[in-house]
Amino acid sequence: MVNIDFFLPSNLILRRIYLGYLFAQGAIWGLLLHGRARVYTYLPDSLRNFLTMPQFTALLDEFGYSPVIARSYIFGGIGLYWATQK
């Protein structure tokens, strides 16, 4: 399995900065492209319910994937995973 996806940073301070940044970027691009700030601000809203990378790694292990190799980007906000099922 190869997976790249959004995750919540484990560090609470970095999580707030990351979600704030995504909200600001979404509002700016929403205004510029569509004249409405809320067009893209749903992204950080939905990410609040996502897992952290350690939580996702634990789930992969629980469902029989090994070895799990993970690389994080943007303070753990983006994760790239490689794993094979046992």
Distance CA 55, CA 60 (A): 9
Digit-coded pLDDT (tens) for 5-63: 999 999 999 999 999 999 999 999 999 999 999 889 888 989 999 999 999 999 999 99
| Number of domains forming the structure of the chain | 1
Adjacent-strand bridge partners of 85? 65
Domain extent for 76: 2-85
With vertex at residue 47, the alpha carbon angle to CA 1 and CA 85, rounded to the nearest 5 degrees, is 15
**Which is more confident, 79 or 68?**
79
Residue 86 is predicted with a pLDDT of 79
